[in-house]
Amino acid sequence: MKIAVFAGDGIGPEVTAEAVRVLEALDLPGLELTEGDVGGAAYKKHGHPLPEATLDIARQSDAILFGAVGDFDCDHLERHLRPEQAILGLRKAMGFFANLRPAKVFAGLEDASALRPEVASAIDLLIVRELNGDVYFGEKGIRKLDDGRRQGWDMMSYAEDEVRRIAHVGFKAAQSRAKAGESGKLCSVDKANVLETSQLWRDVMIEVSAEYPDVELSHMYVDNAAMQLVRNPGQFDTIVTGNLFGDILSDQASMCVGSIGLLASASLAEGTCGLYEPIHGSAPDIAGKDLANPMATILSAAMLLRHSLGMEAQAARIEAAVGKALTDGIRGGDLGGSMGTRAIGDAILERL
């Protein structure tokens, strides 16, 4: 079981270290951890945010545990050399096209949500986000018009096969989350009333739905979905959407459950290889101060065990340990507490 560990920038090394401690505590036979440089740290050492040596480690691994990238010192660089290109480059090079972002309120954290406790307590959803298309990977640029004004442009597009591929992931996820004897629920989020890209998206979703008669498909415009996540998030089970909309909605969902420091994610390819990371950023303002909450990264390690290594029991153990720690009042600064990164890791290890 070869795991690549790419800690990255800011708080990335701190939170990743705690997730590694948890993985090692499971004493899994054959576990091999190999570190690699990404992001601003990689640029400063190697002149590129995603060195070829790091890519080689990724290609030889069964899964990747990723911290965070982002460094204010690199903001002056050309876009292709900025730290964020490491994660975009890994997604493209490794074929990671499906991003899974679960959002669920842990018992005892209802009051931490920005929503009313009775609304927040109903949140238990999964956002399936397409990763390799949309405006993030379309042609883009800044050009000068005839009158001297500058114009920025980004092209949004999806090919039919790209939509079909992520649709299958969404439907299968809805199937797996369905309660015994009930149909799965999949809500496809788009902007088909104004975007031709979204109209194709919706058409393909409807076509693929014929292969999943046990899943109830619904559609929602992205602006309404953003409103409904605040008004009545309990109505959602599985959401499937494009790259841009998924990026925004998943961060919104994180604050609905209480803290961005609690949400893990998985980025999956066609096979079992995946990249697992917390959805928060590098937070350079608190880096090195033992202030970051490592729970999202530890929960990402649980997703790694489940989706790439097929270790459901061990993944559930980690999630139960995190849940017990929260129930027992273990809180970082993001949840109004005062416990540091290492102390939170210690508390989870004790409960594991």
Q: Would you name the residues annotated as active-site residues?
A: 136, 191, 223, 247, 251
Q: Where are the beta strands (DSSP E) in 72-173?
A: 98-104, 124-130, 140-144, 150-154
Cα(131)–Cα(114) distance, rounded to whole angstroms? 28
Cα(125)–Cα(339) distance, rounded to whole angstroms? 28
Query: Which tokens belong to 281?
Result: 């950023």
DSSP states along 33-64: EEE---HHHHHHHHSSSS-HHHHHHHHT-SEE
Cα(332)–Cα(325) distance, rounded to whole angstroms? 11
DSSP states along 177-192: HPPTTS-EEEEEEE-T
Angle between helices 222-231 and 243-256 (to 10 degrees): 10
Query: Which tokens belong to 14?
Result: 């701190």
Cα(115)–Cα(30) distance, rounded to whole angstroms? 44
Burial 13-34 (b: 16+ CB within 10 A, else e): bbbbbbbbbbbeebeeeeeeee
